[in-house]
Structure 1
Amino acid sequence: MKNIFNKTRHTFVAALLFASIPTAGIISSCSDDFLRYPPELSIPEENAFENPERVERQVVGLYASAKAGQLFGGRYFIYNDIRGEEFINRTSNNVTGYSSYQFTNDPSDTYIANFWRFSYLTINRANKFLADFDANPGVVSAEVEARYRSEAKFLRALCYHALIQLFAKPYTLDNGASTGIPLRLQPETSSANNNLAPSTVAEIYAQILTDLNDAELGLADDNGSANNNTTRAHKNSAIALKTRVLLAMGRYANVITEGNKIVSTAAPFTSPNRVAHALQANVVNVFRTYNTTESVLSFPMADTNPPGTQNQLGYYYNVGNIEYYLNQSAPGIYANTAAWPETDARRSGLTSPYSAAWHIVTKWSGASPFIDWVPIIRYPEVLLNLAEAEAEAGSLTRATALLQAVRSRSDANYTFSGLNSSSAAVQAILLERRIELLGEGFRIPDLQRRNTPITSVGAGNSIPVTDSRYVFPIPTSEALTNNDI
């Protein structure tokens, strides 16, 4: 693949200028119209807030930016899964993450730099959108403005959390005292503010929580349709993401507080408030029909806007190209047939033997143009987040019940036993996460938030938290344009 990331100050400034351009002309992620029909031509910045329709186009442009293949359309998931023990590389292709798989990537890696760049582009677009609202009052109603602002803050929080996971040491290592990443909250349209020292990990997490708390207040209770409840953030989306963020911080009591807003006290565990989230009886169907109450947030794709060449999840894991296949040996979870038997629908329906050597994940289609919707937040993750928090700081009984609910949806005959201590329950929950969330970008973050060494098939050894390779290095491109990094 051609390297499109030029490591010069001129290109960086051009990228920021591009980030500030109104995104009315970008295909959106909130309705079938925006997915299927050709976009309008980009409109001049001075007209971007001319009427309510154009303001909404700015919002949907933010989603389009976030779902780019270099970001949440594929690469975020891939980088968080291929470095562990669950997958084996087939192609030795650096374009599709081979150096990350081997832990040989360095600051000059252009593909990881693209993830960094697209994250900050999306953040800058959100910053610009929020500033434009300040400069253009009254174009939409106060309620609509609050909702749009909240969507921008939600997406900014999502991007910052992805960045801080990949490029900084875990919050739980030292309560966030480690050096983090630059915290950019103002729109940048020139090189004037390129220089910005990194904030601490704690400061980044504080901003993420501020954005999500604000988003919870302003987002809609319900977006009005199953499609919009899946593809655009609502109050429950912000709450669900907060359980993920707080779990990464080891703030278990707070996870319970947030989780209780969208999870009932006892089984069957469903959301008692606003959108009626619930586990689906058919787990395979969740990855085929998309608009279910299990999908808290997904980024939709269409043949007019696929994630892009060599970013798509089906291309990586399914027969599209089988860049990575399942590790059939210990310590890969696929090898643990006692914990994950054939009676489990997630094994029989979402993985498949392609050959004797290659067993693959089939959550996503292997057929080009790879337009499966990308699951950003699913309800079983929320249940497992809450289960782990309950095991650590709440009710062991409820923790076990939540864990059992997730398993029983896919394997009604499997019963957990012997979970009579917090440590035993936590280990069972962590194992269940490896099964339920396989290929969805959770393996490395789950290890990191527990300060656990990364058992890397690609590197051939264990990577402890003290190893500089435990997280990605800040890209050279940032150092060339930011003298304070």
Structure 2
Amino acid sequence: MKKKIIYSAALCLISWGFSACNRDLLTPIPQTLVADVSAFSTVSRVNTQLLSLYGALKDGNVYGGRYVIYGDIRGEDFINETNNLVTGSDVWAENPTNSATAVSNLWNYGYLAINKCNIFLDGMAAGGTTVVGADLGKQYIAEAKLIRGLVYYSLLQFYARPYADGNGNNPGLPLRLTGIKGAGQSDLARSTVAEVYAQVIKDLNEAEADLPSKYTAASDNVTRAHKNTAIALKTRVYLSMQNYANVITEANKIVSATAPFSSPSNVANALQPDITTVFTNYTTSESIFSMPMTSTTGDYPGTQNQLAYYFSPTTANGGVGNGEFSLNPNGIIANPDWKATDKRRSFIKQSGTTTVKNWLVKYKAPSPYTDYVPVIRYAEVLLNLAEAKVRSTNTVDAQAVALLNAVRNRSDASTTFTADSFAASTDLINAILTERRIEFLGEGLRNNDLMRLLQTIPAKGTAQSKAPSDNGYIWPISASELALNKLATDN
């Protein structure tokens, strides 16, 4: 099954293509080798179309690279080195326009993935489930819903006000739940942030119910959705909604009450003893969901989309990338609580003598850049639960301290926190947030954390800070959407 997912650049009904003469990017004309009437006519065709949804999710403009990259370079831990608008210098400087590469492509390819999910769900309802059988049909529908929910959540983090601003009552996204197969179907007003989040939770809840508990192959347990995938993603979504009670409810399904923490059911998700293993062996039990890459043409992120291309220095400086973004010397790497002996320091490489720069080398595969892209790891679930426990009780919660220790100790055995380490609950929260910045550096979570807490995006290098009340705190709506959708409004 692993190869089927990886090689899912399927030429089928829902594998739409873009062309220079087609301006309606949200209602693209199908480039198809399988006619609409027969696209769901066999088990093989249905399976191929399902796997193509994963292919859309792992596109270089979405979770194959750029979504993750933008989530980090918006924050304060990286410095832009190339001033290249194509590779996100405007994202880093907090001033992208409606027609900017980042704004347009993330929106267009995100909605392309959503549309593929919608067309697939429509096809399953029209007969696909009959073809593959009720049980497999439920699973396939669940996988499509999980992918759709994940993309909607991800787009909210850039194009809509945080949930905490007005309890979700601000404009969110156009909530498209049926497939677009032709022109003239673009007009749709933006639903509220709360309405889009509600759909995300609905998709993930329904996905959890019908996804398998586990797969036989370890690779499928990382590259394909299962029950723990939906549960883990719900902890992220509820954390962004500041719904801490539900973070706890969901996390408790897959986190044991005491250390060593692991999932008591479904896939046996748990921390790896050595953090570096997670980024060399991509299919360990810590990786709940990742985007697989291979060296097969068309099955890697593509030009200027890859994580290592952005974060790793050039070969002249001992790396495999283009040196687009170095690490901010005043960012998280300067934090004195991140000790020199911490194994996660091995992800940092220095270059230069006169002018010393630091680089993130968490992703090491050279061109064509075949590192798996992490979507969510078990470490995040543990820290999501820890934060939710503290915020919901307003105490120095003992389990939260133990969860924090689990993540810190596996990389820094010299540091063990106790309840006495924190004078107040706010101190423990700050320690958890710091741990998140260290643990998930280069994994795309920094923007999510800043947004959900309505925090100012700090200044870095020549880029000024961006307060929640400032223009540009969230991105403008894509110019292509505004041109095609007469009911859409800009931010």
Same fold (TM over 0.5): yes
| Shift of residue 48, structure 1, vs aligned partner | 2.0
- Whether the 8 Å CA contact 1:153–1:212 is kept in 2: the answer is yes
Letter in 2 for 1:124: N
How far does the alpha carbon of each residue in 1:64-96 deviate from its partner, in whole angstroms, 9 at most, with x for none?
A: 011000111111011111122100111111110
Report the 3-state secondary structure (helix = DSSP H, G, I; strand = E; otherwise coil) of the residue aligned with 1:342: coil
1:431 is matched with 434
Name which of structure 1's ranges 230-239 and 362-371 shifts more when overlaid on structure 2: 362-371
Equivalent pair of 2:342/2:412 in contact (CA under 8 Å): yes
- The answer to whether the 8 A contact 1:7-1:480 is kept is no
1:291 partner amino acid:
T
Q: Residues 444 and 7 from structure 1, CA distance in 2 versus in 1: closer, same or farther, beyond 3 angstroms?
A: farther
Q: 2:275 aligns with which of 270, 278, 283?
A: 283
Name 1:268's counterpart in structure 2: 260
Task: Give a deviation string over 1:28-48, Cα, whole Å, max 9, x none.
Answer: xxxxxxxxxxxxxx4333222
The Cα of 1:140 is off from its aligned counterpart by 1.1
1:404 aligned partner? 405
Single out whichever of 51-60 and 265-274 deviates more from structure 2.
51-60
Native 8 Å contact 1:83 1:456 kept in 2: no
2:56 is matched with 65
Q: Which residue of 2 aligns with 1:293?
A: 285
What residue is the counterpart of 1:467 in the other structure? 470
1:410 partner SS = coil
2:453 corresponds in structure 1 to 450
Which of 226, 229, 232 matches 1:234?
A: 226
How much has 1:15 moved relative to structure 2? 5.1
| Aligned residue type for 1:416 | F
What is the match of residue 90 of structure 1? 81
Equivalent residue number for residue 245 of structure 1: 237
TM-score, scaled relative to structure 2: 0.90
Deviation, 1:421, is 2.3
CA distance in 2, matches of 1:374, 1:208: 22
Map residues 181-260 of structure 1 onto 2, 5 A cutoff.
181-260=173-252
Output one character per residue of 1:288-314: Cα deviation in whole Å (capped at 9) or x when no partner.
110100000011001111101000001
- What are the superposed Cα offsets for residues 194-248 of structure 1, whole Å, 9 maximum, x if unpaired? 1111000000000000000000001000022100000000000000000000000
Q: Give 2:162's match in structure 1, choosing from 170, 182, 198.
A: 170
1:199 match: secondary structure:
strand
Aligned-pair RMSD on alpha carbons? 1.7
Determine if contact 2:291/2:372 at 8 Å carries over to the other structure: yes
Length-normalised TM-score, structure 1: 0.91
Distance 1:191 1:231 in 2: 33
> What is the Cα deviation at residue 355 of structure 1?
2.9
| 1:42-61 correspondence to structure 2 within 5 Å | 42-61=33-52
Aligned residues: 456
Paired residue secondary structure (1:352): strand
Q: Counterpart amino acid of 1:441?
A: G
**1:378-437 deviations in Å (ceiling 9; x for gaps):** 000000000000111147111111001000011111122522422111100000000000
The runs of 5 or more residues in structure 1 that have no matched partner are 23-41
Question: CA shift at 1:102, angstroms?
Answer: 1.1
- In the alignment, what sits opposite 2:10? none
Point out where structure 2 has 5 or more consecutive residues left out of the alignment.
1-16, 313-318
CA contact (8 A) 1:172 1:451 kept: yes
Aligned partners of 2:164 and 2:242 also within 8 Å: yes
Q: State yes or no: 1:120 paired with 2:111.
A: yes
- The structure 2 residue matched to 1:12, chosen from 14, 20, 24, is 24
Task: Quote how far apart the aligned CAs of 1:181 are.
Answer: 1.1
**1:130-168: CA deviations, max 9, x gaps?**
000111141112111110000000000010011111100
**3-state SS, counterpart of residue 465 of structure 2:** strand
Retained in 2: the 8 A contact 1:266–1:398? yes
Task: Indicate how the Cα distance of structure 1 residues 14 and 80 shifts in structure 2: closer, same or farther if over 3 A, else same.
Answer: closer
Match of residue 121 from structure 2: 130
